[in-house]
Structure 1
């Protein structure tokens, strides 16, 4: 079903709008709490039954036992090696757990969950066709207007604080300390009324605000070897002292004894050329981006033009890259191909998210060997 938001004036993109003709103005309105973003392309799964929370708790990274109705949290489904497979936003209404997931995730997650039911009293249903989510920030008129339409549930993003049982790798004041995004779930039939409740903002506006707040996204930032530590996701989605779950050994080992092999950084991009790198663009040490034989030290996950900070990007770098090193990002449509001709480079300065010494919290002394 086509989203009613796409019928609004200026809508560009599908299955949801990337923007409505004024991406920067939309971003300002969204940041102020006066606009709403259509997330109807994302998935929604419901889990009913008396065993729902203990069952989900046994498989995922967050402590879900005793989750009170209306309290929002997020959890990760990892593979046996601790790699991220699904990022799941969870809110329970007292009878049903609502799982909000990224685009292209609902079907595979629902299939996995149904395989894992065994004899437990749980009912799993992919309701992505019947319900849809939208997002707004607190502090303005949008959340008030959306609540007046009586959403089925709402999920208040916990990114602003370190969750109980979690930990933060980033030093000093966190860029997401004021993050106040809320996702509202409505019946799909109500989406037309929702689209008229507040000014619309596209996904480009949300991307820019997420990048500035260091907010990771499974769909945009995670690849097939990503682990939570690389994104400082132990901050909100991992409980370090709960019981066992799939991938828990890797989570504990990297945090206690090792270091994440890569680290997420915010890059401030040189805006003199007015160009943003594409997702996947390779990152090099300063002065090496034009060298076809140079080895990259990382890659861009996504980039955006922020209404206050200009060109910014999130990048995954090798842990060994010094935090004060100036970098350069290859530009052009082939920037993610190491074998492609070098078109140009964009200078970039790092803002530390995950520090180079993240992990190894136990500091176990080495034994002398004979």
Structure 2
């Protein structure tokens, strides 16, 4: 849906997001209020710009098991998981958020990724009894925060995780759902809580050469004892050697600065100053309601874990996410 625009942009105070989250609201007039509401388990986030794909058929789980980094051959109905699709060299191509309802595997992924994802899946069907469908035009993803007592509409497929619930809601029901389950929170509030939780996102914490080890995705999206899948050789080699070339870090940014870094801004040693050699890049920087300005960044493995850094031109103290 390249020109998608959510109907919830008509809600009072809605300000449209840009970039990767274009099509939904960045916020509804009060970023910190929206974050605090989510942290209390209140409200919802419109993620209706995300791509929705389903896989049905008798062989769906055993077939997906051959393609994904995650063990899904015996995925129980209602059990949520994450998985990646890698290139032959082990670089991350797709990040998938899955749940199976007993007859169909539902997944959502990044906005605009459905065509490439379904194209790859279709090319791998061979003789397996599976049907792949882009359902982005029919279903919208809505996020309910952890602790929410909101009830999903009857018949809704729900993906429940420690971070909250993802609802695969019929698109025609989106406005009615918003009217019953407010207040709405924007994508910026959702991103702030994601950064706080050190959770990577494809297209933000990744580039064309990112491997799962660099982001800590081994814990949630990779099963190290499962059978062969594309890119597994790289996963096994790096796991056995223990030397991923880069690592994800969490940055506490200097709150006295007016601006926060942009995605892609270089990360340098503070001792080298703003003209020093770039040792990584800022992936996502946000303003958090309690922590102040914080960010995730991808830096070279050998950057000292206690080194003071510059994120763009902003002084930053790092907190380890992936061990050096």
Aligning the two structures, in what range does the TM-score lie when normalised by the shorter sequence?
Answer: over 0.9
Corresponding residue for 1:174?
none
Corresponding residue for 1:124?
132
Pick one of 311, 316, 322 that aligns with 1:348.
Answer: 316
Corresponding residue for 2:306?
324
Corresponding residue for 1:165?
none
Corresponding residue for 2:19?
none
Instruction: Please list the CA deviations of residues 65-116 of structure 1 after superposition, one character each: whole Å capped at 9, or x if unmatched.
Output: 1111111111100001110000011111111111111112111100110111
Is 1:234 the counterpart of 2:202? The answer is no
Corresponding residue for 2:122?
114
Unaligned ranges ≥5, structure 1? 158-178, 331-344, 357-370
- For residues 94 and 268 of structure 2, the distance between their equivalents in structure 1, rounded to whole angstroms, comes to 30
Q: Displacement, 1:266?
A: 0.2
Unaligned ranges ≥5, structure 2? 17-21
- For residues 326 and 151 of structure 1, the distance between their equivalents in structure 2, rounded to whole angstroms, comes to 51
Please say if residues 84 and 92 of structure 2, whose CA atoms lie closer than 8 Å, have aligned partners that are also in contact.
yes
Corresponding residue for 1:160?
none
Corresponding residue for 1:283?
267
Higher strand share: 2
- For residues 138 and 351 of structure 1, the distance between their equivalents in structure 2, rounded to whole angstroms, comes to 24
Structure with bigger gyration radius: 1
Q: Displacement, 1:155?
A: 1.1
Please say if residues 151 and 184 of structure 1, whose CA atoms lie closer than 8 Å, have aligned partners that are also in contact.
no
Counterparts of 1:177-256 in structure 2, within 5 Å, are 179-196=162-179, 197-256=181-240
SS of the residue 1:97 aligns to: strand
Q: TM-score, normalised by structure 1?
A: 0.83
Q: Displacement, 1:24?
A: 0.8
Instruction: Please list the CA deviations of residues 165-186 of structure 1 after superposition, one character each: whole Å capped at 9, or x if unmatched.
Output: xxxxxxxxxxxxxx42211111
Pick one of 26, 32, 48 that aligns with 1:18.
Answer: 26
Is 1:6 the counterpart of 2:9? The answer is yes
Is 1:140 the counterpart of 2:141? The answer is no
- For residues 2 and 327 of structure 1, the distance between their equivalents in structure 2, rounded to whole angstroms, comes to 38
SS of the residue 1:250 aligns to: helix
SS of the residue 1:191 aligns to: helix
Corresponding residue for 1:55?
63
Pick one of 237, 259, 264 that aligns with 2:248.
Answer: 264
Please say if residues 283 and 289 of structure 1, whose CA atoms lie closer than 8 Å, have aligned partners that are also in contact.
no
SS of the residue 1:222 aligns to: coil
Corresponding residue for 1:163?
none
SS of the residue 1:300 aligns to: strand
Corresponding residue for 1:311?
293
